[in-house]
Structure 1
Amino acid sequence: MYKIDFTEPHWLIYTYHTIGGVSLCINLFGIYLLTFELKELGAFRYYLMLFQVVCSLADITITTLSSIVPLYPLFAISSYGILALWLDVSAHYCLINVGVWAYLEMESLLLCFFKKHQTIAVIIDVHVIPKFIPYFCYLMAIVFPAIPCVGLDFLTVQEEKQLEYINMTSPEYYTKFASLPNFSMYKESNYLYGVIIITFIEVSVLIALLVFFNMDLVRMMVRLKSQISAVNYQRHREAIQSLVIQTFVSVICSAPTSCFALALALRLEHSQLIAELMLVVFSCHSSTNIISLLIFSPPYRRFLEKSFKRNRRQISVHVHSQSG
């Protein structure tokens, strides 16, 4: 019998809400910067803005709308988010909602790389992708998240049969599950592991494409330098730097999901706590992303430096006026 905590995890819910509130403020600040302050990035900033909007919606979904709580090492989850508690949406569809937004977040970052890659490719006339390929990629962007979602939909136990299924497979947990306000359970089978493997492969493909665009952009920038003005070159360079930073942060903050999967596969004694901690770390990724840009990305850093100098000047004028 595994040790599973069926009580409402107040610490996790409060942490979700705190992270969600902080992330919303930081993401809105990032959207404001891209809209009004970082105009030197040109039209490309609108793609970065799309990524930031998707990040904001993903954060709201993870921390507020869904608030998924794992019941591992069993293949079951509960939800304490607005969708479940206020609108009676099943925990299964709350999880699907989280998964879809996580996919869209990675795909929107990949779109930013693709647009910047093709902008430079057209200038130097190298690696220009035929026009029909992007349409195929847009179709795959819809298919990728749909495959595991449909697979999970077939594997989830129907709501009216969940307690009956638990009574047959894990009768020792029947009373505990019966007390939960909202939960979903999945049939443990090779098909479930197949869905997990497919999801892993799809995510690996997206990461591989990000790495490819990163590496190819570095090579293309060498040729670009001699073909455009120094100002335009610097603008492209800083946009790519911002993308690289966001990719690095996304990969670092997404790494806990691997630990999450490992804990589940090995059926570790504290799998549930490990899974909860990994979800908390993952929910911090978009706010960490903006903070990293403010520290390391030149356009964002220049904005901070200008704001700091302006505020210091205003304080100095105010002090002199008071002393006078």
Structure 2
Amino acid sequence: MIDFSVPNWLINYYHVVGLTSAILNSFGLYLLMFQCEKLGNFRYFLLVYQIVCFLTDIHVTFLMQPIPLYPIFAGFTVGVFGEWFNIPAHYSMIIVMFLIVTQLEFLVICFEKKHQAISASLDTFRINKSLEFFGYFLSVFCNFVMCIWFHLERLTKEDQWNLIRTNHKEYLESFQIISHFEIYVKTSSFIMLMIFTLCEGVFLVFLFFICIIHILRMMVLLKTKISAINYQKHKEAVQSLMVQLATATFCLTPPCLLMIFIMFELEKGQLLTEMCIMWFSLHSSLNMISLFLFFPPYRNFIFRKRFII
């Protein structure tokens, strides 16, 4: 049986995580802007990435607040967008998809910018500008294609009600009670969309892998080419990227698991999907905590303030 009631424990969790994320990210953004001058212009790319992560958490925990209805390929929202502005859950889903892919793409851009900054110091391995701009265009294009494709998979409300009456008539009264729900059909086109999304993710992971290996190799050469101060600047930037890549990999695993649950219809799937959403919503909070622990400029600032107090 599917539970159509709003789980208060999950809503309270959303509120706690959202508030925690707001506090940690506000502090982190302040440190990045005013305490990391040594990073130079590179910190602005990190700034954009952290802002996108922050917006994703705020969207999920306050504006959307999704409630899955697994094993039915459906769900509803109880957040600000739905309850206050009557925005359908489908559009909240599109925003989530757009933000998730944008996060990964900006993280790739951060790696690329640092790679090129190190390459400039070594005067080698420079990427052609036309190829660089083509990569930016392809990133934006793929993101919009994915979101438009997902939008085209949406059923009209009449079709959704017909689907419920035909395939899920035992839940008809339950669906009539809730608002802002969406129900989808696993068509061949929808499966192709999921495959396309997974392939895009695999390609981005491949880019991370290649870029990391090359950066680490260049850092060995760079140490003998520039001053210790400039080398430390590059080293701290790379450390920041590695920390954020680790947290992104950890917290972006749940969307992949959700696809598996949807495809194979596992038992106790509703609880599992709720746990995945909880896991995913921790991304920017864990990202900031990891930076406070492992990113020298953030850690040093906190230690200085503690000793001053």
TM over 0.5: yes
Instruction: Report the AA paired with residue 139 of structure 2.
Output: A
* Structure 1 position 105, deviation (Å): 1.3
* Structure 1 position 31, deviation (Å): 0.3
Q: For 1:13 and 1:204, locate their aligned partners in 2 and report how far apart those are by CA, in whole Å.
A: 32
Q: Is the 8 A contact 2:69 2:75 kept in 1?
A: yes
Aligned to 1:102: 100
Q: Is the 8 A contact 1:66 1:98 kept in 2?
A: no
Deviation digits for residues 287-311 of structure 1, max 9, x if unmatched?
1111111111222211121111111
Q: For 2:136 and 2:286, locate their aligned partners in 1 and report how far apart those are by CA, in whole Å.
A: 28
* 1:125-274 matches, cutoff 5 A: 125-274=123-272
* Structure 1 position 146, deviation (Å): 1.9
The structure showing larger relative contact order (alpha-carbon pairs under 8 Å, at least 6 residues apart) is 2
* Structure 1 position 196, deviation (Å): 0.8
Instruction: Report the AA paired with residue 194 of structure 2.
Output: I
Instruction: Report the AA paired with residue 134 of structure 2.
Output: F
Aligned to 1:63: 61
Aligned to 1:29: 27
Instruction: Report the AA paired with residue 227 of structure 1.
Output: K
With the length of structure 2 as denominator, give the TM-score of the two structures: 0.96
Residue 51 in structure 1 maps to residue 68 in structure 2: no
Q: Is the 8 A contact 1:121 1:127 kept in 2?
A: yes
* Structure 1 position 258, deviation (Å): 2.9
* Structure 1 position 160, deviation (Å): 3.4
Q: For 1:149 and 1:169, locate their aligned partners in 2 and report how far apart those are by CA, in whole Å.
A: 27
* Structure 1 position 125, deviation (Å): 2.2
* Structure 1 position 248, deviation (Å): 0.7
Q: For 2:29 and 2:186, locate their aligned partners in 1 and report how far apart those are by CA, in whole Å.
A: 42
Larger-gyration structure (1/2): 1
Q: Is the 8 A contact 1:106 1:206 kept in 2?
A: yes
* Greater Cα shift, 204-213 or 240-249: 204-213
Q: For 2:277 and 2:142, locate their aligned partners in 1 and report how far apart those are by CA, in whole Å.
A: 22
Deviation digits for residues 87-114 of structure 1, max 9, x if unmatched?
1111111111111111111111111111
Q: For 1:137 and 1:62, locate their aligned partners in 2 and report how far apart those are by CA, in whole Å.
A: 29
What stretches of structure 2 of length at least 5 have no aligned partner?
none
Q: For 2:161 and 2:254, locate their aligned partners in 1 and report how far apart those are by CA, in whole Å.
A: 31
How many residues align? The count is 309
Pick the aligned partner of 1:111 from 109, 112, 135.
109
* Structure 1 position 147, deviation (Å): 2.3
Q: For 2:45 and 2:147, locate their aligned partners in 1 and report how far apart those are by CA, in whole Å.
A: 26
Aligned to 1:321: none
Instruction: Report the AA paired with residue 123 of structure 2.
Output: D
* Greater Cα shift, 71-80 or 22-31: 71-80
Q: For 1:47 and 1:87, locate their aligned partners in 2 and report how far apart those are by CA, in whole Å.
A: 32
* Structure 1 position 261, deviation (Å): 2.4
Q: For 2:122 and 2:155, locate their aligned partners in 1 and report how far apart those are by CA, in whole Å.
A: 55
Q: For 1:153 and 1:169, locate their aligned partners in 2 and report how far apart those are by CA, in whole Å.
A: 22
* Structure 1 position 47, deviation (Å): 1.3
What stretches of structure 1 of length at least 5 have no aligned partner?
312-324
Pick the aligned partner of 2:120 from 99, 119, 122.
122
* 1:4-15 matches, cutoff 5 A: 4-15=2-13
Q: For 2:180 and 2:161, locate their aligned partners in 1 and report how far apart those are by CA, in whole Å.
A: 12
* Structure 1 position 262, deviation (Å): 2.3
SS in 2 for 1:268: coil
* Structure 1 position 256, deviation (Å): 2.6
